[in-house]
Structure 1
Amino acid sequence: MTRLGRNRDYRLLWTGQVVSEAGFSTTMIAFPLLVLAITGSAAQSGLVVGAVAIAQLVAGLPAGALVDRWPRKRIMLACEAAQAVAAAGLVLALWWQAGGVGLLVAVAVVMGVCRALFEPAEDASLPGLVPTAQVPAAVALNSARTSAGQLSGTALGGFLFAVGRLVPFAFDALTHVFAFFSLLFVRLPGRQAPAERPPAHLGREIAEGLRWVWRQPGLRVTTLCVVGLNLFFSAYYLVIIVLANDRGVPAGEIGVMAAMLGAGGILGALAAPYLHRKLNPYLVVAGVFWALTALTPLAVFVHSGYLMGVLFAAIAFLPPAANTAISTYQLLSTPDELRGRLGGVLGVTGGLAAALGPALGGWLVEALPGTTAVLVCAGAIAVVTLLATTSGTLRATARPRELEGTPGS
């Protein structure tokens, strides 16, 4: 971990992105507040916020293929520049009192497309930026970075909006400028030139990436495990929030619950490299899944928002270790020329799970009593756990060849 901290290029990238993530989260809080202030319409607020996720999903697979075509550092620089320009343009429009919902949707789409391009470009670049033995630590620190950026940005968003409507977006523009210049000084090694072949159609390149993920048993199984767990945990989270509200838990305590979930995720991400070094990846994944299976039903018996926050923190502490093991395996088991498309596939499947999970949770709380809905989600997580534990393919996904025999980071 110390050696990773001395990696100048990774440190520059990490620092720029934690700031950029804070700006993005600030904007995601400010978007609905601004739409409500302009139109008073909750539906239009949802349209603007949803445009980011929809754009990211739609662009996900093509973005992954383009990441494998184009220089990855240039893609990341272009994404930061585009987001800075979009946020600055929105600030000027608000200054001139010309900002409407259409402009907000356009800015949201730019943000979603840029995230669809940036994330696989960064992930695919990671093995070239840090030594192979340090990839697990870098994956875990990136997870902690995302959680830290979200926590700080969420806290800042409402405060900055209270200062002035355009202030959160001005802050967002500055964070992307900072991230751009941080990234500008990152020395990313050049990629090995691929074997000469006729340029493929973008659709064929996307199909090639999908086939690669599906035909590799380890990639297929780990992806399905993550999607299943994310789907049902996203539903579980919404069910718990609704249940707490129905039980009369004050809004302040519900906010503490959400904050402790994020704090648990950060601590878990910091502990993940140690667990990855000490345990076989299968044991990490299976152990985390079983711990979640044991913890999630306890919410039925917890009536205090603060105690539920402690339970949330314990639950959130665990997944980063499994995510580190799975992401490291997926990244190092995929050839460099396909890593962008791997990131595109994982981004789309993860995005679908994140979108469908709350919808499933909302349906469950409408159809069932709150405690029953909790137990249904916990039961679904238990099913995923059983499938993961008994999977011979998952058991065989030990450390990738690149990590065998390497010392801990």
Structure 2
Amino acid sequence: MTVPLSRNRDYRLLWLSQACAEFGHNATTIAFPLLVLAVTGSTAASGLVLGTVATAQLVAGLPAGALADRWNRKRVLLACEAAQVVAVGSLVAVLLLDKATVAHMVVVAAVLGGCTALFEPAEDATLAALVPEDQLSAAVASNGARTSLGQLAGTAAGGFLFAAGRVLPFVVDAVTHLLSFVALAFVRVPPRDKPPAPVRHLGPEILAGLRWAWQHRTIRITTLYAALLNLFFSAFYLVVIVLAQRRGTPAGEIGVMAAMLGAGGVVGALAAPFLQRVLSPYVSIASVFWVLAVLTPVTALVHSGYLVGAIFAGMALLVPTANTTIVTQQLISTPDELRGRLSGVLALLTGVAGAVGPVLGGLLTAVVPGTTAVLVCAAGIAAVTVSVTASKVLREFPRPRVPVAG
């Protein structure tokens, strides 16, 4: 008899460990650009630090996926958490000594991005090992809620912590990753059906993952659209933060504003099982793009951080349903020995967008007024939305199994 998801000990430990880590991660994410602005006064430098995280994910993404398929995945998870404790702890030390530099923050950002690149494919593959296929959609939706909760609580806390002391968000991040390390140590990962072969030729194994993703049209098309949306939204996100600061919005209010993305994601994750039953995959995916296309330009006209936060919540509302639909189909259709590499390929494409987006946002705010920068990002999102709406591949996207309660 299948154990209900709510009583799956190892899945719960994995979930709780990452809920803790994501709280600290999001506190750092909102604090990083504010810290760079406080130290240098340069929006371009803020974009550089955020872009470094994404660039590191990009560079490490493909080999990370192959290594997650070949190495012991639990050890990969533990090593990534330990490395993040050390990296963020070093930043805490230099902040306490009042010797923080952009160069050091870039190095820390690179470590965080590299660890994320390696952690994500290992976690994705581990999830499919811990959870039966008929509960996989529910687990993916629950992980989406976890991510949104971390974003909601972490970004809100990060803004207020930064206002109280520049070092505090980073102290919290180091502690939460340490707690995550302890929780992960107790997760029991079942042995794999096919013991992984030692890594001998990393290049051909990476190419095998690329071929797998390219040959599956649905995966290829959905990943392309996700990457384009990530490009314009990540640029827009930084633009809005910089614009809010230029308008004199307090740091705590900026934190709440950013946290509302998480609030919308939490509500959306709770509604995802119902929405999966009533919406076709095409409608659930296309709706995300249309909501963003409509709401993005509105933020140029709104000066209240709290109102912008409410718009952020609306933007995030339908994302968990679309993500659950896409990720579940990807995990089910991919053999275990290729799951890490598939995740690495996806990280490559979305990583390109994530690396370029913040840099684009920083450059836009440096050369044009903030409201104009918002409209440039909105135009990009609108163009992608038109293409998504016309896509035959998305219209034929297979419907995943309905999540089993528990």
TM, length-normalised to structure 2:
0.82
CA, structure 1 residues 97+389, in 2 after alignment: closer, same or farther (shift >3 Å)? closer
What do the CA deviations read for 1:192-245 (whole angstroms, capped 9, x no partner)? 11698x965111111111121111101101101211222233344455556667
**Which residue number corresponds to residue 352 of structure 2?**
352
Gaps of at least 5 residues in structure 1 are: none
Instruction: Note the 1:146-161 alignment, pairs <5 A.
Output: 146-157=147-158, 160=161
* 2:188 counterpart SS class: coil
**Which residue number corresponds to residue 21 of structure 1?**
22
Instruction: Note the 1:140-219 alignment, pairs <5 A.
Output: 140-157=141-158, 160=161, 168-193=169-194, 200-219=200-219
Query: Given the alignment of the two structures, is residue 64 of structure 1 paired with residue 54 of structure 2, yes or no?
Result: no
**Which residue number corresponds to residue 135 of structure 1?**
136
**Which residue number corresponds to residue 312 of structure 1?**
312
Determine the C-alpha separation between the residues in 2 that align with 1:97 and 1:308.
33
Determine the C-alpha separation between the residues in 1 that align with 2:378 and 2:31.
33
Q: Counterpart amino acid of 2:213?
A: V
Query: Given the alignment of the two structures, is residue 330 of structure 1 paired with residue 339 of structure 2, yes or no?
Result: no
Query: Given the alignment of the two structures, is residue 230 of structure 1 paired with residue 248 of structure 2, yes or no?
Result: no
**Which residue number corresponds to residue 8 of structure 2?**
7
Q: Counterpart amino acid of 1:212?
A: W
* 1:188 counterpart SS class: coil
Q: Which moved more, 1:338-347 or 1:28-37?
A: 28-37
What do the CA deviations read for 1:46-103 (whole angstroms, capped 9, x no partner)? 6555543332221111111100111211110121222234444555677788876665
Instruction: Note the 1:287-306 alignment, pairs <5 A.
Output: 287-299=287-299, 302=302, 305-306=305-306
Is 1:265–1:317's contact at 8 Å kept on the other side of the alignment? yes
**Which residue number corresponds to residue 54 of structure 1?**
55
* 1:189 counterpart SS class: coil
Larger radius of gyration: 1
CA, structure 1 residues 306+34, in 2 after alignment: closer, same or farther (shift >3 Å)? closer
**Which residue number corresponds to residue 272 of structure 2?**
272
* 2:399 counterpart SS class: coil
The higher-RCO structure (CA 8 Å, 6+ apart) is 2
**Which residue number corresponds to residue 339 of structure 1?**
339
Q: Counterpart amino acid of 1:357?
A: G
Determine the C-alpha separation between the residues in 2 that align with 1:98 and 1:375.
38
Give the Å deviation of 1:168.
Answer: 4.5
Give the Å deviation of 1:178.
Answer: 1.3
Give the Å deviation of 1:271.
Answer: 1.8
Q: Counterpart amino acid of 1:386?
A: V
Give the Å deviation of 1:164.
Answer: 6.4
What do the CA deviations read for 1:135-185 (whole angstroms, capped 9, x no partner)? 222222223322322343334446556776665544333322211121122
Q: Counterpart amino acid of 2:345?
A: V
Determine the C-alpha separation between the residues in 2 that align with 1:164 and 1:149.
21
Give the Å deviation of 1:122.
Answer: 0.5
- Report the aligned-residue RMSD: 3.7
Is 1:139–1:324's contact at 8 Å kept on the other side of the alignment? yes
Give the Å deviation of 1:329.
Answer: 1.6
Determine the C-alpha separation between the residues in 2 that align with 1:69 and 1:218.
26
Overall identity of the aligned pairs, in %: 60
Determine the C-alpha separation between the residues in 1 that align with 2:301 and 2:268.
24
Q: Counterpart amino acid of 2:63?
A: P
Q: Counterpart amino acid of 2:21?
A: S
Q: Counterpart amino acid of 2:115?
A: C
Determine the C-alpha separation between the residues in 2 that align with 1:99 and 1:253.
25
**Which residue number corresponds to residue 285 of structure 1?**
285
CA, structure 1 residues 228+28, in 2 after alignment: closer, same or farther (shift >3 Å)? closer
**Which residue number corresponds to residue 123 of structure 2?**
122
Q: Counterpart amino acid of 2:335?
A: P
Q: Counterpart amino acid of 1:267?
A: V
CA, structure 1 residues 229+110, in 2 after alignment: closer, same or farther (shift >3 Å)? closer
Gaps of at least 5 residues in structure 2 are: none
CA, structure 1 residues 35+356, in 2 after alignment: closer, same or farther (shift >3 Å)? closer
Is 2:48–2:358's contact at 8 Å kept on the other side of the alignment? no
CA, structure 1 residues 94+335, in 2 after alignment: closer, same or farther (shift >3 Å)? same
TM, length-normalised to structure 1:
0.82
Determine the C-alpha separation between the residues in 1 that align with 2:118 and 2:262.
25
Aligned length: 402
Q: Counterpart amino acid of 2:64?
A: A
